[in-house]
Structure 1
Amino acid sequence: MANQSRQPNVIVFFTDQQRWDTTGAHGNPLGLTPNFDRMASRGTHLYHSFTCQPVCGPARSVFQTGLYPTTTGCFRNKIPLPEGSRTLAHYFNDAGYQTGYIGKWHLADENPVPESGRGGYKYWLAANALESTSESYDAVVFDNDNERVKLPGYRVDALTDAAIRFIDKEQDNPFFLFLSFLEPHHQNHRDDYPSPDVYTEAYTGRWTPPDLTALGGNSAQNLGGYYGMVKRLDEALGRIFDAVKSLDLAEETIILFTSDHGCHFKTRNSEYKRSCHESSIRVPTAVIGPGFDSRGQIRELVSLIDIAPTLLDAAGIEVPAQMQGRSILPLLRRETEGWRDDVYVQISEDGIGRAIRTSRWKYAVASLEGAKDAPSTDIYEERYLYDLQADPYELTNLIGFESHRDVTAVLKERLLRRMVEAGEAPATINAAESKQSRQRRVSASEVRA
């Protein structure tokens, strides 16, 4: 019999580089994600969910701390989380939880990760850069004593097995488990997407999202393997559901599924992310369990920075005042007043960029040529404007169009305000070169949509 009085368990199922449109809940026709889709329909589906930094380390710093990368200092990869940073693990530890981390960490600067660099997690079976210590059929992580551990099976299955063992061991007390996969991220040294053998070629040449159809990149070579990895991840999600159900923990366990960022398959720049486009920043997110069951589809815009306060709030733990996101629990009660109609995105490494995404528009700026290795800059130039209602896959850049001058002015002001609210110094944004817009028109009511 489930214990309704105890604190809820929390499991985070965290994938790496997974586009939102890999899921059936977002229209993918290949049947890759029946478990996620069921979770989205029976729990809470965050339909418009975005990362606020589309690169691994910075996104993970946001999830763990509830702070923007420019606040933590982890604004690019290979910057470890500063010692003394308060993470989700610390807050759950203080509330009497057993905390565990399994899989990819990417918030330290070495393998194995010393205890001081593990963000406060008590149980540890992880590697900093999992792509450097392991391959798809050679899963290697490190334990609490920094001993090398080789786990049997395809890497997704191996980490899932470890997670199920943790859940079984800790079932009698509240636990917080962060299960962090590398998949469907590419295997770096091969620049390849190695799916389970059973899915090799199974999804090649099937369905391609419209942006990749139009822009190409390397999707023809790698999309099939990527889909095979997504399929196995969803099967692993189902195994977590089954384990929780078999231990009679379903009614007292919150399970969150999300990803750190998406993947544009070398269409927007020379790699896979680090851009403002939906393919980079939009991710699949759903939550199920106490407080989230049967809450339906949430259409408000939600950012990765809102996830940490949401998990703490759902567990009955006070949300720290310094966190820069907000709990989404009021949205579940349809209390939407005061919720922002935009998300703020920081870009790093490929260049310094900033973007704002509303329900209708996407506006992005970038640093001047040569400015890259810094958290921010004082001068940006307008780079992108998309009308997501008319052009959801962002194939026509409207920046500089005379017809969209008023829209651009409004979004520019909103972006500058969001930058300051995130703790950044005031900046200047130089206007793009003006262009004739021909047949395009924007009505007054559309300007602030």
Structure 2
Amino acid sequence: MDRRPDIIIFNPDQMRADALGHLGNPAAITPNLDRFAQRDAVSFRNAFCQNPVCVPSRCSFATGLYPHVRGHRTMQYLLREGEPSLFSELKDAGYYVWMNARNDLVAGQIPGLLEQHASEIFYGGDAPAAPGPEQPDPRGKPGDKNYYSFYRGKLKKDRDGRNYSSDDEAVDGAAKRILSFHSDRPLCLFLGLMAPHPPYAVEDPYFSAVDRTKLPPRARVLPKAGKPPMEERLREYMALGRYTERDWTELRACYLGMCIKVDEQFQKICDALKAAGRYDNAAIFFFSDHGDYTGDFDLPEKAQNTFENCLTNVPLLIKPPKGVPVDPGVTESVAELVDFYATAMDFAQVSSSHDSFGKSLRTILADRSIQIKQYAFCEGGRMPYERQCDEYHAYGGDPSDRTREYWPRQQAQLDSDAHEKGTMICDGHYKYVLRTGGRDEFYNLKEDTKEERNQIDRLEYRPIAEKMRSAMLLWYQSTCDLVPRNYDKRFSDEMIWHRVKNICPPQHEQAVKEKIKEGAAFMEVIAFCRSLGGR
């Protein structure tokens, strides 16, 4: 039998779909990914994450479950004991699972838990610290325009002409493992990067490579546009009103420069697979956990309960292993990151230990015109009574400490009205967002590509919005929970014995107790007693 395929997962953090050249951004420079999509892989234009921040998204795509199923919808509730992931399941099925220590998935306070999900963990931290920004003190003082912008700009280089980051170290560690892996076991390699997550900072040649004149227009802040109040709170606390269009241009170009470096790092992994003779039989996945505002709506970074495409539409490129038909290029088919789990398990020929909600994308890879689902869903925010954002939370530190760069986001999330729970449904053409506070949203993505104005009150869209609202209800009903496969006994051994002892022949008492101890059900024990001559 042919060796099971290697499963290679390259996972940048906070990368928008439109950071890729082949998806239409004239300023993007991603030649390796563009060539990968043209020759070997299928790129999904309409791929969506299931939560617009890191931890909930990762807990979702690694399990095939939506964030609401087990409550994994905050930055501080990760997978715990008894919750398998793709990685633990592949490991149990005989895969050698390598991952770097970019966690955001498994609860760190439980000793040994991360090791249940991996055969080898690359911690790194052995390289000297990379040089910082060329501009001294790029944040400035409180009140300066860059204080909360996350912008650092061009990075310095070391004496070797590099800015060797923790991502570079992890990429080199992954490439080394690929080249030195000579086991008969199939390899699962999960490489999670920090880039292009802010702060926005990158060295040359990447910083200067982006043609600023080619950047497409940003999404504008329009008066009375019906946008979510979270964005208004973020703008209020970040106080970026002094940011000029030139400032936003530099921030956006820097972000795309970071994506150029990610593109080169991805190619380094592909080159290692080819040198090791493992490329053809590898299933290769490239996708991000969520996107980034990058200046849209006058905002940097992200928010946990807003759902514009800049945050929810992510790159998803898949190359199947040899023997699996592929129709390379861009597909318009709707996909979700929960589908990654189903697809990887399909290629690995491993049955899941739990029910999940994604669909294998294998048929779309063979024919890009196929549609296997109508809608994608994303969810975020919280209920007013939840305290996940009070006091200390994932961004760390004292909420009253205004020197922290995440202070504005933390303050905005303390506002339960702004941080209200919301759920998005999107078919690639229309998008509807249901909110607990009643401030729903609706967008026609073909007419309003940047989602600048909420159209929920337009009468002509009301039937479509109602149809999507009904579809969301059916989705919630079908995904609201799952029944564990390890069923429980209703009676303890002692309970069963006391229920059957009156019908058990005295001379067979020990045999009946052994039967109970072996795990026989109550009715099985009764039948056994009667087969021994009991009443």
Counterpart position of 2:313: 282
Q: CA deviation at 1:118?
A: 5.0
User: 1:320 and 1:300 mapped to 2: Cα distance?
Assistant: 28
Cα distance between partner residues in 2 of 1:123 and 1:256: 20
For 1:309, give the aligned amino acid. A
Q: Which residue of 2 aligns with 1:160?
A: 171
CA contact (8 A) 1:72 1:81 kept: no
Quick one: which of 445, 453, 472 aligns to 1:415?
472
Cα pair distance change 1:35/1:119, threshold 3 Å? farther
Name the stretch that deviates more: 263-272 or 308-317: 263-272
Residue 223 of structure 1: how far off its partner (Å) = 1.2
After TM superposition, give the deviation of residue 185 of structure 1 in Å.
0.4
CA distance in 1, matches of 2:129, 2:326: 36
Aligned equivalents of 1:246, 1:335: Cα separation in 2: 29
Among the aligned pairs, what percent are the same residue? 26
1:213 deviation in Å? 6.4
Residue type matched to 1:120 in 2?
H
Q: Shift of the alpha carbon at 1:8?
A: 0.7
Whether the 8 Å contact between 2:80 and 2:107 is mirrored in structure 1 is: no
| Contact in 2 for aligned 1:196/1:232 (Cα 8 Å) | no
| Shift in Å, 1:115 | 2.4
Distance 1:209 1:136, change over 3 A: farther
Residue 252 of structure 1 corresponds to: 281
Q: TM-score, normalised by structure 2?
A: 0.66
Q: Which residue is equivalent to 1:265?
A: 294
Q: Per the alignment, in what secondary structure is the counterpart of residue 480 of structure 2?
A: coil
Q: Which deviates more, 5-14 or 25-34?
A: 25-34
TM-score of the superposed pair, with normalisation by structure 1:
0.78
Question: Contact 2:42–2:326 at 8 Å: present in 1 too?
Answer: yes
Q: 2:62 is paired with a residue of what secondary structure?
A: helix
Q: Residues of 2 paired with 1:20 and 1:325: CA distance?
A: 20
2:74 to 70, 73, 76: 76
Shift of residue 271 of structure 1?
4.6
Structure 1 portions without partners, runs of 5+ = 139-151, 188-192, 369-380, 426-449
Name the CA distance, whole Å, in 2 between partners of 1:351 and 1:197.
41
* Structure 2 CA distance for partners of 1:94 and 1:70, relative to 1, 3 Å: same
Asked if the contact 1:58/1:69 (under 8 Å) is kept, the reply is: yes
Decide which of 338, 360, 371 is 1:327's aligned counterpart.
Answer: 360
Aligned to 2:207: 200
Partner of 2:423: 354
Counterpart residue number, 2:455: 398
CA distance in 1, matches of 2:453, 2:220: 14
Supply the distance in 2 between the matched residues of 1:184 and 1:18 (Cα, whole angstroms): 6
Please give the alpha-carbon distance, in whole angstroms, between the structure 2 residues aligned to 1:114 and 1:201.
44
Distance in 1 between residues matched to 2:294 and 2:314, nearest whole Å? 15
Determine the C-alpha separation between the residues in 1 that align with 2:188 and 2:348. Answer: 10
Q: Closer, same or farther in 2 for the Cα pair 1:38/1:119, shift >3 Å?
A: farther
Q: Distance between the aligned counterparts of 1:109 and 1:7, measured in 2?
A: 30
> Which range moved further: 294-303 or 195-204?
195-204
Equivalent residue runs for 1:104-123 within 5 Å:
104-108=102-106, 110=108, 114-118=111-115, 120-123=117-120
Cα distance, 1:354 vs structure 2: 0.4
Residues of 2 paired with 1:384 and 1:251: CA distance? 44
Q: Which moved more, 1:51-60 or 1:222-231?
A: 222-231
Q: Of residues 357, 372, 376 in structure 2, which corresponds to 1:339? A: 372
Distance 1:29 1:11 in 2: 29
Q: 2:264 maps to which residue?
A: 235
Shift of 1:36: 0.7
What's 1:442 paired with? none
* CA distance, structure 2, for counterparts of residue 360 and residue 250 of structure 1: 35
Q: Does the 8 A contact of 1:343 with 1:356 survive in 2?
A: yes
CA distance in 1, matches of 2:180, 2:71: 36
More strand by share: 1
The answer to whether the Cα contact below 8 Å between 1:83 and 1:117 also exists between their aligned partners in 2 is no
Instruction: Give CA deviations for 1:105-145 in whole Å, capped at 9, x if unaligned.
Output: 1134558x842145511111249xx9xxx97659xxxxxxx
Specify the alignment match of 1:124 in structure 2. Answer: 121
1:151-183 CA-partner distances (Å, limit 9, x unpaired): x92333211101011112224431000000010
Deviation string 1:72-130 (CA, Å, 9 cap, x unpaired) is 3221101121211111112211221100111411134558x842145511111249xx9
Gap runs ≥5 in structure 2: 133-162, 223-243, 382-412, 414-418, 483-535
Residues 315, 102 of structure 1: CA spacing in aligned structure 2 closer, same or farther, 3 A cutoff?
same
**What is aligned with 1:91?**
89
- Secondary structure in structure 2 of the residue aligned to 1:104: coil
Residue 288 of structure 1, CA deviation: 1.6
Partner residue of 2:435 out of 352, 361, 366: 366
1:401 maps to a residue whose letter is: R
Q: For this pair of structures, how many residues does the alignment match?
A: 388
Using the TM superposition, give the Cα deviation of residue 233 of structure 1 relative to its aligned residue in structure 2, in angstroms: 0.5
How far has the Cα of 1:250 moved from its partner?
Answer: 1.5
Contact between 1:258 and 1:283, CA under 8 Å: does it hold in 2? yes
Compared with structure 1, are the counterparts of its residues 172 and 330 closer, same or farther at alpha carbon in structure 2 (3 Å cutoff)? Answer: same
Matching of residue 224 in structure 1 with residue 253 in structure 2: yes
Larger radius of gyration: 2
Q: Secondary structure at the match of 1:61?
A: helix
Aligned partner of 1:446 in structure 2 is none
Give the Cα separation in 1 of the matches to 2:182 and 2:24: 36
Tell me: CA distance 1:247–1:211, structure 2 relative to 1, closer, same or farther (3 Å): same
Amino acid paired to 1:205? R
**Distance change in 2, residues 1:278/1:364 (3 Å):** same
- Distance, in Å, in 2 between the alignment partners of 1:167 and 1:159 is 12
SS in 1 for 2:311: helix
Distance change (3 Å), C-alpha of 1:70 and 1:119: farther
Could you tell me which residue of structure 1 aligns to residue 402 of structure 2? none
Give the root-mean-square deviation of aligned CA atoms. Answer: 3.0
Counterparts of 2:347 and 2:33 in 1: how far apart (Å)?
20
The equivalent residue for 2:187 is 175
